[in-house]
Chain A
Amino acid sequence: MMYATRARNARPEPFAVRVGIAERLGIANLDWPLAFAAIGLVSFSVFTLAQATTHDVPGSPNYYVDRQALYGLLGIVGMLVLTRIDYSRFRELRVGIYTFLCASVSLVFVFGFAARGSRRAFELPFFSFQPSELGKLLLVLALAGFVIDGARRGSEVQRTVRYLCLGLAPAALVFLQPDLGTSMVFAVATLAVMYFGGVRWTHFAVIGGALVALIALVLVVAPAVGTPVLKGYQQERLTSFLDPHAHEAGAGYQQNQSVIATGSGQLTGRGDRATQTRLDFVPERHTDFIFAVIGERYGFAGAALVLSLYALLIWRALRIVTLSKNSYGTLVAGGIAVSVLFQVFVNVGMNLGIMPITGIPLPLMSYGGSSVLATFLAVGVLQSINVQARIGQRGRFAW
């Protein structure tokens, strides 16, 4: 009985109310701008892939388009389903969710298939499933539950350390796959949940200091003493953006080409005369570097539109943070909002040459079933928080 809510028990329905179709579908209390942003982004993604990837898979010009459209539709359905589920249920399931999260990212080591030297995904009959993508959402859901429930156990320092450990454990597993980008998202999501959970600023200051020390250790000290933590290519990617021309043929190549692609789009884009992203100069154009494709094909106009949709999405997410009827919702919405913001900034920044290459996909734009589905589910959770908040305000529930 997923739809059983505290509100129902607390406030029985005083009147018989006619329930409209929208309410039956559970979309009456949707946050429409949020849904518009998410669906708009995935539609733009499908549109872009349709134009840019015609020749990518020999023999099937619509390979990426068809699949991305399908993932998008599945994602929308998933979002709508989640909208009608009271997200608070996830708080009760936090241990199960957390266990599933850790198990799934670990099982990749055993059953996952290797792509370019790292094991990140399971090969399923129709698509490959990358658990760490869904893990971003699962981590937020579980960790927010732990934060709420552990709010009175132990000292503040103990709590902070506990949350950190809970969040960083799966992050470490993902890092070992190796998937540096996603593990960074995990870390950021962890910090975001803690942040909205009220962890002290001073603790964040300490964490920040530790982070700086860690980065210094990983990038400078560890290679110097001969025990590098990062693989060579990872380190190069992380640092080459600082001086792309020094690595023009190596790690900086991709980024340099991506910057040229985006820049060459100018105000209105080159359309089908795009060359950088059409002729393989920009690698991974359907996934990590899809923003460069948009930049080249549709120019500033297209790129700004995409950024605006993200801005809309984040604004609505942050708004839901404030609306949430309970603190679990606040933490979940905050975690989702910040992790999406982080991914967008890092990916777009990477495309524009101001952030390192980390392999973080652009939510809802980059081709990939796991990412699209997981992001829509996250949006669905946000919608659920919104719906529940509104029901609470109006004193009744939608179902």
Chain B
Amino acid sequence: MYLRSGDRPQASSRLALRIAVVGGVAVALFAVLFFRLWNLQVLSGPDYLAEAKNNRTRSFKVIAPRGDIVARNGETIVDNRTSLALQLNTARLPADPAEANAELRRVGQLAHMSPRKLRRTIREGEEVAAGAPVTLRKDVGYDLVYYLEENKRDFPGLAVQRVFLRRYPHGTFGAHFVGSVGEVTEEQLKERPYKQLEPGDEVGQGGVEATYDRYLRGQPGLTRIQVNALGQPTPGGQLYSKPPTPGESLKLTVDPAVQEAGEAALSERGLPGAFITMNVDNGEILGLGSSPTFDPSEFTRPMTQAQVDQLYRNPSAPLNDRATEGLYPTGSTFKLITALAGLEEGLVTPSSTIDDTGSITVGEQKFENSEGVANGPVDLVSALRVSSDVYFYLLGLKMWDNNKLQNWAHALGIGRPTGIDIPGVEGLLPSKAWRNQLYKAGETERPWSAGDDIQLATGQGDLQTNPLQMAVAYATLANGGTVPTPHLGLGVEDAAGRVLEEFEPKPRRHVRIDPESRQVILEGLHEAAQAPGGTSYPIFSSFPIEVAGKTGTAERVGHANQSWYIVLAPYPNPRIVTAVTVEEGGFGAESAAPAAKTILEAYFHKALQEESSKSSTG
């Protein structure tokens, strides 16, 4: 029924029903809205709040500057420089794939990267930290910065970011022990000290940078900013900022004067070689170097293929630290150990003499002095002075079957880890058990023989050691039986120079050495260096400080003789040991001893000055 116009409202039952239906629908609709609202805001509210917060913040890690590495006198060995890195914010690339491609192509041209390489870099960056800007190139020049500034519109996603790079103010100084800095590797991330790191973080790789990484690394800061729906920072939207904690600075035991002298002396020779100067009492390394060397700053920049070849495919292996990782026979420098073993085992006395006829024959094998010289009757001191091989051949022969020489060499640290705080090698101390086992396995053609021990007694044969192990052995004798732990880390300081921690590694072990044995051997070495007829007398005769030094001339298959010199100074109570080796350097006195002298001059610089002023006034 239709209502007649002008009628008073006949609130007919049909209209009332229709109104009631609409009212019911309205109630239902409002109920739906209220229910939904309650569900969203009260029941799931916290979830949505978390989602909203997640929506609007973006965190950026602020890299902490790495701690400096300084020498014992505070001189800087490694510090940081700020560099400009080209970064690409992939979120700001055009959404259209074709446009994005075109943009990437232009970015690639600017960064000197092929599209493929660029794509790979971006992909890797995204894997490391999705959403964060990807570093395309480090250390870009200001010309690029200005170009970008002028053409901002063309490169919306590109930005130049300040980053820290390692700086090596002294070039090659300490190249072999400072190590470098690089991105943490996947394997490292699984190890405990790197657990808290994230892919892409930089850590020390090699050398003291790696060993003391936890001090040098510092704590990255965090900035959390608020972004709008486009991912752009909002004004005043910095929500949270934790400044980075710079790394602590590492003080090394290295004495720059000694280090420089050693490196210079080696490079002067122009031959591969190594040196180490160490405090005999506490194992502090005053200088340690290897030649040929390299400039560690090359690792902070992208390398050319030529540089890569020069470093990695070079037969003279500049990256190799010959001082700690070399594997050499030592020649006569080993005689100190043979002498000590002979004395301590009661095989010789300081006064017992033998007649050095220039050679001995064991079985069918003849062992000769260098150039077949006959030294006549020699006691221990004179045997060391003139470096009589025969004297030590006989000692080696006496011990060939009882492992006593090996026991002493082992006790003094030959062929075993030294505990140094940078990578080192174990080396090889040949012994009867070792050779016979190889023989059983069919890896060598003959079992252990007296000849092997005779050779070992003079530092020849299968012996594989390096200046570091020899320096430790000499230091042990010099200090009366304490095997020091060689180390480069002296302590840690904060940015203000306050000492936070000092490293005093405990001695490896103690060896019981008769003071008389020590005294006799040192005397022999002293005479070798500074008594007429001594092997290094020509070098050290005029040296104003009394020293005890031993030459070595190691025969290496396929190489010319390797020159060795190990010197303890000052005599008779040595503070330092210096070991030098020069591959193919000839006789010990030819190249290693002069280099060692240069190092000692640097170490005793002050004392020598006083000496010369005294002599000039007197």
A residues within 8 Å of B by Cβ?
6, 148-149, 151-152, 195-198, 257, 259-267, 270, 275-276, 279-281, 295-296, 299-300, 303-304, 307, 310-311, 314-315, 318, 321-330, 334, 337-338, 341, 345, 348-349, 352-354, 389, 392
Contacts and interface: CB of A to CB of B under 8 A. Distances in A.
Contacts of B4: 151, 327
B42 interface: yes
Contact of A152 (B2, B38, B45): B2
A307 B33 contact: yes
Contacts of A389: 9
Interface string B223-247: 0001111100010000000000000
Contacts of A330: 3, 9, 15
A6 B8 CA distance: 11
B101 interface: no
Contact of B3 (A151, A265, A299): A151
A51 B1 CA distance: 52
A280 B229 contact: yes
A327 B12 CA distance: 11
A322 B49 contact: no
Given A151-B5, A152-B2, A264-B48, A300 B38 contact: yes
30 contacts: A148-B3, A151-B5, A198-B1, A198-B3, A198-B15, A260-B51, A260-B55, A262-B48, A275-B52, A275-B55, A279-B56, A280-B228, A280-B229, A281-B228, A295-B37, A295-B41, A296-B52, A299-B41, A300-B38, A304-B34, A314-B26, A321-B22, A322-B16, A325-B8, A326-B7, A326-B9, A330-B15, A334-B22, A352-B37, A353-B36
A345 B5 CA distance: 32
Given A152-B2, A264-B45, A345-B33, 19 more contacts: A196-B15, A198-B1, A259-B48, A266-B46, A275-B53, A275-B226, A280-B228, A281-B228, A295-B41, A300-B38, A303-B37, A304-B37, A315-B26, A326-B6, A327-B7, A348-B33, A353-B36, A353-B40, A389-B9
A267 B41 contact: yes
A389 B2 CA distance: 20
Contacts of A263: 40-41, 44-45, 47-49, 51-52
Contacts of A304: 34, 37
A262 B40 CA distance: 7
Contacts of A348: 33
A197 B2 contact: yes
A267 B53 CA distance: 17
A352 B228 contact: no
B9 A264 contact: no
Given A260-B52, A280-B229, A322 B41 contact: no
B41 A327 contact: no
Nearest to B37: A303
A318 B19 contact: yes
Contacts of A352: 33, 36-37, 40
A280 B229 CA distance: 5
Contacts of B1: 198
Find the residue from B11, B18, B33, B234 having the highest chain A CB count within 10 A.
Answer: B33
A341 B28 CA distance: 11
Contact of B11 (A149, A197, A322): A322
A241 B49 CA distance: 21
B33 A318 contact: no
A307 B30 contact: yes
A163 B2 CA distance: 14
Nearest to B49: A264
B511 interface: no
B23 interface: yes
B37 A6 contact: no
Contact of A276 (B2, B11, B16, B56): B56
Contacts of B228: 279-281
B110 interface: no
Given A151-B3, A322-B16, A325-B8, A300 B33 contact: no
B495 interface: no
Nearest to B9: A324
SS of B interface (majority): helix
B47 A6 contact: no
B36 A354 contact: yes
A296 B49 CA distance: 9
A152 B3 CA distance: 10
Contact of A321 (B6, B19, B37): B19
B128 interface: no
Contacts of B47: 263
Contact of A327 (B5, B34, B226): B5
A6 B5 CA distance: 12
A349 B37 contact: no
Given A307-B34, A326-B6, A260 B48 contact: yes
A33 to B, nearest CB: 15
A199 B44 CA distance: 44
Contact of B8 (A267, A279, A326): A326
B14 interface: yes
SS of A interface (majority): helix
Given A325-B8, A327-B5, A265 B29 contact: no
B32 interface: yes
B2 A151 contact: yes
Interface in B53-87: 53, 55-56
Contacts of B32: 345, 349, 354
Contacts of A195: 18, 22
A342 to B, nearest CB: 9
A122 to B, nearest CB: 31
A328 B7 CA distance: 9
Given A260-B52, A326-B5, A265 B41 contact: yes
A372 B617 CA distance: 109
Interface string B246-290: 000000000000000000000000000000000000000000000
B48 A341 contact: no
B93 to A, nearest CB: 15
Contacts of B22: 195, 318, 321, 334, 337-338, 341
Given A198-B14, A265-B41, A328 B52 contact: no
A326 B11 CA distance: 10
Which 10 residue pairs of A and B lie closest in terms of their CB atoms, listed nearest first? A263-B48, A266-B45, A327-B3, A151-B2, A264-B52, A264-B49, A280-B229, A279-B228, A275-B56, A300-B41
Contact of A265 (B11, B25, B45): B45
Given A148-B3, A195-B18, A307-B33, A276 B55 contact: yes
Nearest to B25: A341
Nearest to B55: A281
Contacts of A270: 49
A387 B36 CA distance: 37
A352 B23 CA distance: 22
B521 to A, nearest CB: 79
Given A266-B45, A314-B26, A281 B229 contact: yes
Contacts of A314: 26, 30
Contacts of B230: 280
Interface string B414-440: 000000000000000000000000000
A337 B22 CA distance: 9
Nearest to A159: B2
B325 to A, nearest CB: 55
Contacts of B6: 6, 326
Interface in B100-114: none
Nearest to A348: B33
B40 A341 contact: no
B49 to A, nearest CB: 4
Contacts of B18: 195-196, 198
Interface in B172-189: none
B55 A266 contact: no
B450 to A, nearest CB: 83
A308 to B, nearest CB: 9
Contact of A300 (B15, B37, B49, B226): B37
A385 to B, nearest CB: 10
